[in-house]
Amino acid sequence: MYPSAFEYHRASSVKDALKMLADYGEDGKLLAGGHSLVPIMKLRLAQPAHLIDISGLPELGAIREEGGKIVIGAMTTHRAVESSSLVRAKLGLLAECAALIGDIQVRNRGTIGGSIAHADPAADYPAAILALEAEIKIESVSGSRTVKAEDFFIDLMTTAVRPGEIVTEVALAPISTGCGFAYLKHRQPASGFAMVGVAVLLALGKSRTCERARVGITGLAAKPFRARAVESALAGKDPAQAFASAAAHAADGIDAMSDIHAAADFRAELARVYTRRALEMALPRAKA
């Protein structure tokens, strides 16, 4: 199906895009990589009268180190994240997660800002962004604010981004030396989206007990989440003995989704299995 008619506008700066968003109100929509927006426009699930293209804005496309954090511009493509030497060296979890998104065509067009703003419940980045405790910068004509990843994802395809706002950056602290990490997902065979995806960060203490674990899970529920029950079941424990029992809590208190690809019970079991596997993959990478 063709999308309904719209006017195309290429923003010349973030300020220009914000002004257009304010002017067009509910009729305006940002276009980033277009890999989620265009398909839903073709299905006429979205019918914006004005498309505001923010691709190609240099201020949104860079990856830099600033104030002890790695700051990734919202328009940075998945491919640029996957192949950045800075991200690979200091945020290996994010680079590995980006490398598993869709296929090379999707990764060359899709952007980190577009992915998290769209908040597809099966998107990969949210799991890693939660485990890495990222901060998301959001701008509007009246200024900017920063939202923690855990407060950013609110519900199915619903985020903390309000009308008239643009996600401009994602800031992440580098992974501490010696910290193990892993991102694993059960792929939906056609698209590659995560039926369940689990991101793990694991820090060991001197006696090789779990000092700190961060676990982000996507695909299981309407919104991605931090699996705090798993994290606390690991605290102070011997990893080899604790992984299976801790991973058993991956779906605790979660209303698992059911769809044509997987029933809720199956998804919950996938979450438990992939959490254990991700922990096992992170362990040999962790140094006390």
Kindly list the distances between the CA atom of residue 122 and the CA atoms of 145, 167, 176, 261, 269, in Å, as whole numbers in the listed order.
26, 20, 28, 11, 16
Residue 206, judged by CB atoms within 10 A of its CB (0-12, 13-18, 19+), counts as: exposed
36 touches ligand FAD by CB under 6 A: yes
225 touches ligand FAD by CB under 6 A: no
| Given 76, 84, 111, 275, the residue binding ligand FAD (CB under 6 A) | 111
Ramachandran bin of 200, using left for φ above 0, alpha for ψ from -120 to 50, beta for the remaining angles: beta
196 touches ligand FAD by CB under 6 A: no
The residue with tokens 């203490």 is 205
The tokens for 240 are: 């080899």
CB 263 to ligand FAD: min, Å: 21
CB 113 to ligand FAD: min, Å: 3
**Contact at 8 Å (CB) between 159 and 119?**
yes
Q: Cα-flanking dihedrals φ and ψ of residue 197, to 5°?
A: -130, 135
| Given 18, 21, 33, 72, the residue binding ligand FAD (CB under 6 A) | 33
261 touches ligand FAD by CB under 6 A: no
Segment interacting with ligand FAD (CB under 6 A) among 114-122, 142-150, 220-228, 277-285:
114-122
101 touches ligand FAD by CB under 6 A: yes
103 vs 207, beta carbon nearer ligand FAD? 103
C-alpha–C-alpha distance, residues 212 and 210, integer Å: 6
19 touches ligand FAD by CB under 6 A: no
| Given 124, 169, 211, 231, the residue binding ligand FAD (CB under 6 A) | 124
203 touches ligand FAD by CB under 6 A: no
Show Cβ contacts of residue 67 under 8 Å, excluding neighbours closer than 6 positions: none
35 touches ligand FAD by CB under 6 A: yes
CB 238 to ligand FAD: min, Å: 34
One-letter-per-residue 3-state SS of 171-195: EECCCCCCCEEEEEEEECCCCCCEE
C-alpha–C-alpha distance, residues 162 and 35, integer Å: 21
50 vs 237, beta carbon nearer ligand FAD? 50
| Given 87, 93, 129, 161, the residue binding ligand FAD (CB under 6 A) | 161
Catalog residues that contact ligand FAD under the rule CB under 6 A: 29-37, 39, 74, 101-102, 106, 109-111, 113-115, 117-118, 120, 123-125, 161, 166-167, 191-193
